[in-house]
Amino acid sequence: MNNSYQLIIYAIVLLPLIGSLLAGLLGKTIGRHGAHTVTVLGVAISFILSLYLFQQFVMLNAPSYNFNAYTWGVSGLFHFNIGFLLDHLSVIMLVVVTFVSLAVHIYSIGYMQGDPGYQRFFSYISLFTFAMLVLVAANNFLQLFFGWEGVGLVSYLLIGFWFQRDSANLGSLKAFIVNRIGDLGFLLGIATAFNYLNTVDYATVFAGTPLLLKETITLWPGQACSVLTLTCILLFIGAMGKSAQVPLHVWLPESMEGPTPISALIHAATMVTAGVYMIARMSPLFEHSPVALEVILVVGATTALFMGILAIVQHDIKRVIAYSTLSQLGYMVAALGVSAYAAGMFQLITHAFFKALLFLAAGSVIVALHHEQDMRKMGNLRKYMPITYVCFLIGALALAAIPPLAGFYSKDSIIEAIHLANTPGAKYAYFCVVGGALVTAFYIFRAFFLVFHTSERMDEHTREHLHESPWVIWLPLIALAIPSIIAGAMLASKLFAANNALFGSSIVVLNNTNVLHELTVTYQQNIWSLLAESLHNLPFWFSVAGILLAWLCYIQFPRLPAFFAQRFSWIYKWLLCKYGFDDFNQLVIVRGTQALSKVFFEVGDVKILDHQMVNGTGRAITWLSRTVRKLQSGYLYHYAFIMILGLLLLLAWMLFKG
């Protein structure tokens, strides 16, 4: 059986890579049909094999399987291996990644039809899937980092796919640079653990946690820090970049410059969830660092509320959903901060379904409107696109955490876990996540009403050609809508079982920080009783209030938004400038770096290196040559005088020395 597991994980990981290489290198030979066939087939087989592993490890509770495939490199006594870890956590991620990727691949056949870069696009998204699968299946930090950088690199290619646009080039470059900032912290965290434990293998690092707890490091004179805390915070900086947490969130809205299928793939189940998955995987480390968990909690809660507020003032349908992703990632990270890793991963799973659904439904709208993304030029599309309308509504209800849809169970478990926590910052975090429930429902139903209800605001030519998208686009929507409805109830019963049957022992939580234990008792009584209990919960009524408020502002009294924007113009402008993060980065970091570079160039390079050292050396030799040349006069008495002078200096030196 173990050998079969090895063959299966090899196939799951390598088939998308093979499809990518065939579509990329032989794209002209196999054509468009061949390019999407090999990539879709590769991901489809990976998905089916992932389901088999899910049955074995999650349903039948097979023991985790950890093995090294081969040794990548040797340096002295250190061996760096390529290996895989199959357990509840990694297998669930394999299913989620391959399922969403398969839906996006199929959807892209219709969305990218007619694009000159068709084969290149399918090569990129299949390669992106390969990098994410390597990341989630890794059993060591080296391979994790390879997949981590892989998704970062391919995301740069995908966001800038339409490289003829300056905005796409700038967006891809911004995403790449901001992620490199986070990756620097991530790499330093790995290096710190390796420096003290001499290994990058997960199992050995986790076993060495007591050693890291004992060790301290002096960051500056008189200030010592726990090595474990430092390692965890550095790793979290990497997660802040990948999972777009404040202040390293600025790249994610710019990633909307890529094609819509890419937005769905990046924002739903792959790149942005890598940071959340990494922290959950590293729970044996983070559990022993309360300081790191407090930092994670505050950062996540802040992102959850304040990034959601920004979605309220966006007019681009994709940017509304992008800021929604930022907010939902904040919920996941906040859950990790109170040791509710299972709740955070639960939200990651359900979010992957309904967020991919929302993005692909938005893409269906964009295609129907000839790539128009401004919601102010839409309206009443339910009349023309009934399937897209229903699917978007399901995604919106799931995002707003309306029972019994999937988002209700996952988000409710996070909010309750934070409410039960007694760690510093928990009260602030609870305020943010409860307030975020109102904000989330408001911004997503604002988009829903503006796009599918209200008056028609598109031009006459667009209206004449409006119709439902072809089956290759709406079929993936239906496939994603189904788990967006039922996945929450199905997974919650296993998540809150007595032995945490969903994640098993792959997540480690200390007894004194297990805030999910009380929820486990409640959920075990009757999973469906929560639907009735939700009527008494504040987050549910906040969500309902958000929907009603959106209905009042955009259906019943459509002049209200303009009134409030004018009445509170300073707040509106502050939100439009995104709290000033981009302005700060542009003025301080970008222009500051340019000014510093100019100083280094004009002073260091031109004046010191060129003028003083390079040209100065030549001038000094010229002056010395001219001066020394004057001593060569040709007169005998001049030479005699110099000889006598030299003799006197020699005698003086000998007398002084004696």
> End of a domain among 100, 115, 139?
139
Indicate if 555 and 639 belong to the same structural domain: no
39 falls within a domain:
yes
Tens of pLDDT along 457-505?
Answer: 888 887 877 888 888 888 989 999 999 998 888 888 777 766 666 888 8
How far is residue 509's CA from residue 515's CA, in Å, rounded to a whole number?
9
256 falls within a domain:
no
Q: How does DSSP classify residue 255?
A: G
Q: Taking 90 as the threshold, does the pLDDT of residue 580 lie above it?
A: no
Beta bridge partners of 66: 85
211 falls within a domain:
no
577 falls within a domain:
no
Q: For the chain, what percent of residues have pLDDT higher than 90?
A: 40
Query: Both tokens of residue 641?
Result: 């005088």
Q: Is 651 exposed, middle or buried (0-12, 13-18, 19+ CB in 10 A)?
A: exposed
How far is residue 86's CA from residue 39's CA, in Å, rounded to a whole number?
24
Indicate if 443 and 548 belong to the same structural domain: yes
Indicate if 627 and 489 belong to the same structural domain: no
48: containing domain: 1-139
Q: Taking 70 as the threshold, does the pLDDT of residue 524 lie above it?
A: no
Q: What is the pLDDT of residue 332?
A: 94
Indicate if 537 and 631 belong to the same structural domain: no
Beta carbons of 237 and 230 less than 8 angstroms apart? no
> End of a domain among 99, 117, 139?
139
Instruction: Write out the H or E segment, with its range, that includes residue 70.
Output: strand 65-75
Tens of pLDDT along 142-168?
Answer: 999 999 999 999 989 989 888 888 888
How far is residue 200's CA from residue 308's CA, in Å, rounded to a whole number?
37
Indicate if 546 and 611 belong to the same structural domain: no
Indicate if 645 and 502 belong to the same structural domain: no
Burial 55-77 (b: 16+ CB within 10 A, else e): ebbbeeebebbeeeeeeeeeeee
How far is residue 101's CA from residue 104's CA, in Å, rounded to a whole number?
5
251 falls within a domain:
no
Indicate if 635 and 565 belong to the same structural domain: no
Indicate if 383 and 470 belong to the same structural domain: yes
Indicate if 526 and 642 belong to the same structural domain: no
Burial 84-103 (b: 16+ CB within 10 A, else e): bbbbbbbbbbbbbbbbbbbb
Indicate if 510 and 554 belong to the same structural domain: yes
pTM score of the predicted model: 0.89
320 falls within a domain:
no
Q: How does DSSP classify residue 631?
A: T
259 falls within a domain:
no
Q: What is the pLDDT of residue 559?
A: 87
Total domains, the chain: 3
> Is the pLDDT higher at 94 or at 625?
94
288 falls within a domain:
no
Provide the residue count of the chain. 658
Indicate if 566 and 619 belong to the same structural domain: no
Q: How does DSSP classify residue 63?
A: P
> End of a domain among 105, 139, 173?
139
How far is residue 163's CA from residue 159's CA, in Å, rounded to a whole number?
9
Q: Is 238 exposed, middle or buried (0-12, 13-18, 19+ CB in 10 A)?
A: buried
How far is residue 90's CA from residue 64's CA, in Å, rounded to a whole number?
10
Indicate if 568 and 607 belong to the same structural domain: no
What are the contacts of 153-158 at 24+ separation with CB within 8 A? Answer: 154/124, 154/127, 154/128, 155/128, 155/179, 155/255, 155/266, 155/271, 157/124, 158/124, 158/125, 158/128, 158/258, 158/259, 158/262, 158/265, 158/266
How far is residue 297's CA from residue 295's CA, in Å, rounded to a whole number?
5
Instruction: Tell me the Cα Rg of the chain.
Output: 30
Query: Both tokens of residue 369?
Result: 């409107």
Task: Give the highest mean pLDDT range of 85-99, 216-230, 521-535, 567-581.
Answer: 85-99
Mean pLDDT of the chain: 87
Q: What is the pLDDT of residue 529?
A: 65
Q: What is the pLDDT of residue 299?
A: 94
Of the pLDDT bands very low, low, confident and very high (cuts 50, 70, 90), residue 132 is very high
Tens of pLDDT along 203-255?
Answer: 999 988 888 888 888 877 777 788 899 999 999 999 999 988 988 888 888 88
